[in-house]
Amino acid sequence: MNSSYGLVAFIDESRKPLRHRKTGKPDHGRLYYVTAAAVLFRGDLEECRSALLRAEAGLGFDLHYSDLKSSTRRRTAVDAIAAVGDWEGYFYELAGPISGSPGAERKARFDQLSQAFQDLENVGVSHATLETRNRAAARNMTLDERDRALVVKLRQAGKISDNFEIAHSGKDEPMLKIADVLASSRTDLLCAKDESIFPRLAHRVTIVTV
């Protein structure tokens, strides 16, 4: 059993500025925004968490992508995560970069999560954990509350059932590190920051253009 919820998913996002391929300099006017979900289809959730923690202990460093300061460590971390069985990845992204405005990012997240929640429920997921982004947002609504409001809106529109639930967790949830590495390696590729990382995980994922 995965948990009392049945199939579970862990979701994180990544945003990075597009880079000029010749100069490597960031184009601060445009960025890629990607949402990644890691779904545990087989095996036991606690066993998968333990496997990730054992991988970290063996490597001697945290698997959180932003803490990996070299391509060598990132490749090592990606290979360790790819070696953990039982999960499959899903990417939700737009066909191209967006502007760096808050409104564009909000819309990208809204569109990507809307599609993700529907797709995940269709493959049997009933509970998704997202990394918390519990900062104040417009109209006194926190970013986490905005995610919960999206779930309510999708339920009211009949696009997901009442059985589909979400929760938010901090970086201490090991399974979120899979989604973090997926999302960050994907934006590294799309933004031409480092194109060597994502191909090492590509066989484990499905990419959905929203």
The 10s digit of each residue's pLDDT in 22-33 is 666 776 688 999
At 88 the pLDDT is: 94
Structure tokens at 20: 């000029």
207 in Cβ contact with 183 (< 8 Å): no
DSSP letter for each residue of 19-55: E-TTT--EEEEEEEEEEEEEEE-SS-HHHHHHHHHHH
Tell me the CB-side half-sphere exposure of residue 65, using CA atoms within 13 A: 25
At 117 the pLDDT is: 98
**pLDDT bucket at 1, cuts 50 / 70 / 90:** very low
Could you give the domains of the chain? Answer: 7-209 (3.30.420)
Please report, rounded to a whole number, the percentage of residues in the chain having pLDDT higher than 90: 68
The 10s digit of each residue's pLDDT in 74-90 is 999 999 999 887 899 99
Asked whether the predicted pLDDT for residue 2 surpasses 50, the reply is: no
Structure tokens at 4: 């009392």
- For residue 37, the cross-strand partners are 11, 90
**pLDDT bucket at 49, cuts 50 / 70 / 90:** very high
The 10s digit of each residue's pLDDT in 89-147 is 999 999 999 998 989 999 999 999 999 999 999 999 999 999 998 776 656 678 899 99
Q: Left (φ > 0), alpha (ψ -120 to 50) or beta: where does 71 sit?
A: alpha
At 4 the pLDDT is: 46
